[in-house]
Amino acid sequence: MSLLYKSTRNSEVKVTASQAILKGLADDGGLFVPETIPSLEVSLKDLANMSYAEVAYEVMKLFLTDFTEEELKNCINRAYDSKFDTDEIAPLVKADGAYYLELFHGATIAFKDMALSILPHLLTTSAKKNAVKNDIVILTATSGDTGKAALAGFADVEGTKIIVFYPKDGVSPIQEKQMVTQKGDNTYVVAIKGNFDDAQTGVKNIFGDKEFAKLMDESGFQFSSANSINIGRLVPQIVYYVYSYAKLLQNEEISEGEEINVVVPTGNFGNILAAFYAKNMGLPIKKLVCASNDNKVLYDFFTTGEYNRNREFILTSSPSMDILISSNLERLIYRICDADSAKNKELMTSLSKEGKYEITEAMKAQLADFYGNYATEAETAKVIKDIYESTGYVIDTHTAVAAVAYKKYLADTKDNAKTVIASTASPFKFTRSVMNAIDAKYDNMGDFELVDELSKLSNVTVPNAIEEIRTAKVLHDTVCEVNEMKDTVKKILGIN
What residues pair up with 480 in beta bridges, in sequence order? Answer: 192
Nearest Cα to 329, choosing from 286, 362, 300? 300
- Dist. CA 253–CA 33, nearest whole Å: 34
112 catalytic? Reply is yes
Going from the C-alpha of 344 to that of each of 25, 136, 199, 340, 350, the distances in angstroms are 16, 29, 23, 6, 10
DSSP state of 365: G
Q: Which of 223, 305, 321 is nearest to 271 (CA)?
A: 321
Buried b (16+ CB within 10 A) or exposed e, 369-395: ebbbbbbebebbbebbbebbeeeebbb
- The one-letter amino acid code at 234 reads L
Which positions ≥6 away from 45 have C-beta within 8 Å? 249, 256
207 phi and psi, to 5 degrees?
-60, -35
One of 6, 73, 94, 112 is an active-site residue; which one?
112
Select from 220, 142, 64, 194 the least CA-distant residue to 483: 194
Find the radius of gyration of the CA atoms of the chain: 21
Q: Which residues contact 3 (CB under 8 A, 6 or more apart)?
A: 17, 34, 35, 36, 38, 62, 63, 65
116: amino acid identity, one letter:
L
- Cite the active site residues: 112
